[in-house]
Amino acid sequence: MADDRKITRRDEDYSGWYQDIVLRAALGDYSPVKGCMVFRPRGYAIWEKIQADLDRRFKETGHQNAYFPLLIPESFMRKEAEHVKGFAPECAVVTHGGGALLEEPLMIRPTSETIIGYMFAKWVESYRDLPLLINQWCNVLRWEMRTRLFLRTTEFLWQEGHTLHETHAEAKEEVLRMLGVYKAFAEEMLALPVIQGRKTDSERFAGALETLCIEALMQDGKALQSGTSHDLGQNFAKAFDIEFTGRDGGRQHGWSTSWGVSTRLIGALVMAHSDDQGLVLPPRIAPEQVVIVPIWKKDEEKPPVCEEARRLQAAFKERGLAALLDDRDQFKPGYKFNEWELRGVPVRVEIGPRDVASRQCVLKRRTGGDKEAVPLLGAAARVVEVLEEIQQQLYARALALREANTHVASSYGEFKELIEQGGFIRANWDGTAETEEKVKNETKATIRCLEDGRSDPTGPCMVSGREGKFLATFARAY
């Protein structure tokens, strides 16, 4: 519910602005368990829309949903050495159950490669059983030291895809395919332009041969990793003896992948599109796409106005729109306007006695602009058009922000100046972990990715002066 307290301005305190919107737009709240959060109904409704669209895309590419246990034997996590090294600091371990010490400690899943690898080994006998294309919607737990609602929490919701293939070529094709699914989803549904590319060795997933990612730029100039897809090679197949009889009759290990996105996408929505008045949501992902606010002063005006408002709601729903009617008596129209603006509903429809008499209603876009009077009979069709215009406007606005804040640095000195302004900075890199770590320690910027189609070096490394191996995309990041 709206209140009179002003939202912190973005230019005053971006972190405080973000927190204000998440709390006051009723997306989420803090839980009594440090680092965890509560999803309020509107926040969870956004996640349900994310789930529904992604789930459709996964199934269209041949994947099936399954579910695997929350608890993983500690010995499983230790089978893949690099994997356990990468996740050990974040793992929570269960040592007692039923009042007794467990024979073997159980880890609360930080990710499920190990237990799924164990099951794949039981299910695959021949190349005819491949590919295995599995997705899981679940929660995971990673013991984060610094948390922020939606963006980084100890427990979070996500999907994790896990696949097994006959050849490495097929596995690599899967990694690229699923990254493409994420990119299309982010841009088409979230109005979130992303760059895609490969992570450096120091940034890749623990246990993977290669990690591909999509990266988005937030309004404060920081990057947000918005999805990852991993080529696991045969690392987990060898650790868990995932073997099958090949076409030549011999035994061989499978080639696996994993890929995932999480509820941090909701945080991306907030930071990419919202303003100082509150939440702004792309219509395709908004829990309520249009809210109808009937207006009356006299008691006798209410019935005809509300009746017409209900007809509008029915017409909107017939067009497949998520339409809400706010006919609460206890709040004045101005209060309702502020509340739904704060909560990010893309379109508000106002209708009063004069509108009923003239057979029209008034549309107001959350993204600004003048009010628009439209005939009642054409209102549903016009709202559909306006929602699509808002969707495209938000994408174009986010893309323009990214392009205006993407620069090329020809020297380390220039890089240090540019990184203080925020944004993506492309610079030549010699490919060494030493140089990458130096930049990170001195500027707090990391290589977000070696961008697809744009990673060929144009000169010497900006830091070392040695031969440039890559044109890397740097940024400070969440």
Contact (Cβ atoms closer than 8 angstroms) between residue 132 and residue 98 = no
Give me the mean pLDDT over the 364-373 stretch.
Answer: 97
Give me the mean pLDDT over the 80-86 stretch.
Answer: 70
The structure tokens listed for 139 are 């929660």
Expressed in percent and rounded to 5, the helix, strand and coil fractions of the chain are 40, 30, 35
CATH number of 406-475: 3.30.110.30
Can you give the pLDDT at residue 131?
Answer: 98
14-273 and 290-387: identical CATH topology = no
Can you give the pLDDT at residue 333?
Answer: 96
- Name the band, by pLDDT with cuts 50, 70 and 90, for residue 144: confident
| Bond from prior residue into 131 cis (ω within 30 degrees of 0) | yes
| pLDDT digit string, tens, across residues 403-431 | 999 999 999 999 999 999 999 999 999 99
Q: How far apart, in whole angstroms, are the C-alpha atoms of residue 359 and residue 375? A: 6
Give me the mean pLDDT over the 438-446 stretch.
Answer: 98
Domain 14-273: CATH superfamily is Bira Bifunctional Protein; Domain 2 (3.30.930.10)
Can you give the pLDDT at residue 318?
Answer: 98
Q: How far apart, in whole angstroms, are the C-alpha atoms of residue 346 and residue 340? A: 9
Placement of tokens 């008034």 in the chain? 362
The structure tokens listed for 316 are 């909107």
Q: How far is CA 432 from the centre of its chain?
A: 30
Can you give the pLDDT at residue 364?
Answer: 98
- Name the band, by pLDDT with cuts 50, 70 and 90, for residue 88: confident
- Other residues' Cβ atoms within 10 Å of the Cβ of residue 258: 26
In this predicted structure, the answer to whether residue 125 has a pLDDT above a threshold of 70 is yes
Contact (Cβ atoms closer than 8 angstroms) between residue 265 and residue 214 = no
Helices of type H across 246-350:
264-273, 302-318, 333-342
Q: How far apart, in whole angstroms, are the C-alpha atoms of residue 373 and residue 364? A: 9
Can you give the pLDDT at residue 77?
Answer: 85
- Is domain 290-387 classified as CATH 3.40.50.300? no
Contact (Cβ atoms closer than 8 angstroms) between residue 87 and residue 77 = yes
Placement of tokens 């730029």 in the chain? 217
Can you give the pLDDT at residue 2?
Answer: 46
Question: Would you list the domain boundaries of the chain?
Answer: 14-273, 290-387, 406-475
- For 169-327, strand residue ranges (E) read 195-198, 210-217, 223-233, 243-245, 251-253, 255-262, 290-294, 323-325
Can you give the pLDDT at residue 90?
Answer: 85
Q: How far apart, in whole angstroms, are the C-alpha atoms of residue 458 and residue 427? A: 9
Can you give the pLDDT at residue 81?
Answer: 65
Can you give the pLDDT at residue 163?
Answer: 98
Q: How far apart, in whole angstroms, are the C-alpha atoms of residue 217 and residue 50? A: 19
Give me the mean pLDDT over the 433-452 stretch.
Answer: 98
Strand, coil or helix: 418: helix
Contact (Cβ atoms closer than 8 angstroms) between residue 439 and residue 474 = yes
Give me the mean pLDDT over the 279-305 stretch.
Answer: 97
- For 24-182, strand residue ranges (E) read 28-30, 37-39, 64-65, 71-73, 92-97, 100-108, 132-141, 155-165
| pLDDT digit string, tens, across residues 302-333 | 999 999 999 999 999 999 999 999 999 999 99
Can you give the pLDDT at residue 4?
Answer: 59
Can you give the pLDDT at residue 1?
Answer: 44
In this predicted structure, the answer to whether residue 3 has a pLDDT above a threshold of 60 is no
Report the alpha-carbon angle 341-221-429, nearest 5: 155
In this predicted structure, the answer to whether residue 466 has a pLDDT above a threshold of 70 is yes
Can you give the pLDDT at residue 296?
Answer: 96
Helices of type H across 242-378:
264-273, 302-318, 333-342, 353-358
In this predicted structure, the answer to whether residue 135 has a pLDDT above a threshold of 60 is yes
Give me the mean pLDDT over the 361-366 stretch.
Answer: 98
Q: What are the DSSP calls for 454-470, one per residue?
A: --S--SS-TTT-S---E
| Mean per-residue pLDDT of the chain | 96
Contact (Cβ atoms closer than 8 angstroms) between residue 398 and residue 191 = yes
